[in-house]
Each structure stands twice: as C-alpha cells, then as structure tokens.
Chains A and B, each alone.
Chain A
C-alpha cells in the first residue's frame, strides 16, 4: 500500500466553481500534514499546512480526519490561476515527508 494515495483527477471545473478532493495516508503515527501546489515543470510549493481542527487560507480549506486517515482540500470560487497539481504530503518521521502523486485541477474560463 502506498504511504499517501490521491485521486489523480483531472478535475475540470469552470471558473467560480468549488472543487474538493481527498488523500489518504497509511501511517497512523503521522503528525504533520501539508498541501503543496506544483505547476507544470516547476518545483512544488507549500500551499498550506493542515491542522487537526481544520484551517482556511482565503479560498482554500483543509480538513484532517485522523480516525479515517484522510486529508481534504477544498477550493472555493476557483480561478484560472488555481490550475495546477496539488500534492498531499504527510510526515513519516521527524526527518522525512511522503508525497502523494498529486491531483490535477484544471479551471476553465
């Protein structure tokens, strides 16, 4: 079983729509969770950390469900600039993070 699994998508949504997707992780001892954004042929960049109580950053909302071991990301009022691949990231131990293969989101005009 992969450490972090994501629906690869793609999710094709019109501008202004809401899009949400999950990832699941296998290590119940994981303590740190993140969403990264990766544009085509670019390095991943931290989008937001995910906290136990859930957190928002503008149009982005992240949720963590420890019991079911999944993390979600919701994007409201999608913009064309939100088109990217979103990577779910979970810590393995103090030194290492595991990355999902990514969920591709395409926002169309």
Chain B
C-alpha cells in the first residue's frame, strides 16, 4: 500500500533562518506531489505541485521554493523565513485526480 511520510512534525524557527521540509512517498511511482499551507483558521493554499522529477510549478509568489530531486521525494525550502511563513504545511500525493492523500503535516512557527 502507498504511504506518505512528512517530517518534522513540529518546527520552531527564528525569523531569517533557512527551512527545509521533506516529504517522501512509498508504494507508488510517478505520483503528482503537492505542498499546501494552512494558516490558522484558514483554508488550504496550494503552494507548489510537481508532476515529475525536476518539474515544479508555483502557485503564488512567495518566500518559498520547492524541489523534486527524486521521483518520490518533494522538498520545501526557504532561504530566510518570515513571520508570515508560519502555518501548517502539508504534503500530498495523487496518481490520478481522485482525491489526495496527505502527509501528517509540519506545524511551523516562525518567531
């Protein structure tokens, strides 16, 4: 069966520090991968999606970047965090447009 791993679960980082969140998928190949952010009390905002290795599409201009160095690995990064980057970051995968499966999320607090 397919599983998705996301870490760390919780992160507290100072303003201006770098960020690296990792997501890996097991049990499938060539998945579509997504990074979402959910601010407190808000809906999910799509940040990036990838349909293949090295293929990254950005939804909104922001302080973040994404990379897909391997088929089942998706990384979210920032060189310098802002206070507004705080939120609940969720990685998700799908093979076809039939719903997403989410990782357990990373709760990021920028202080």
Compute the total of residue contacts between A and B using a CB distance below 8 Å. 48
Chain B, residue nearest A6 (CB) = B43
| Docked-complex contact B97 and A101, CB < 8 angstroms | no
Q: How many Å from the CB of B96 to the closest CB on chain A?
A: 8
Q: With an 8 A cutoff between CB atoms, is A44 at the interface?
A: yes
Q: How many chain A residues have a CB neighbour from B under 8 Å?
A: 24
Size category, B interface: 20 to 34
User: What is the bound-complex CA distance between A32 and B100, given in angstroms?
Assistant: 12
Contact status A44-B49, CB under 8 Å: no
| C-alpha gap A102/B104 in the complex (Å) | 18
Binary contact readout B61-95 vs A (1 if CB under 8 angstroms, 0 otherwise): 00000000000000000000000000010100000
Interface centre among A44, A49, A99, A101, by most chain B C-beta atoms within 10 angstroms, is A44
Q: Which of B1-60 contact A (CB under 8 A)?
A: 32, 34, 36, 42-44, 46, 49, 51
A95 touches B105 (CB 8 A): no
Q: Would you list which residues of chain A between 32 and 47 have a CB under 8 Å from chain B?
A: 32, 34, 36, 41-46
- Please list the residues of chain B having a beta carbon within 8 angstroms of any beta carbon in chain A: 32, 34, 36, 42-44, 46, 49, 51, 88, 90, 97-105, 107
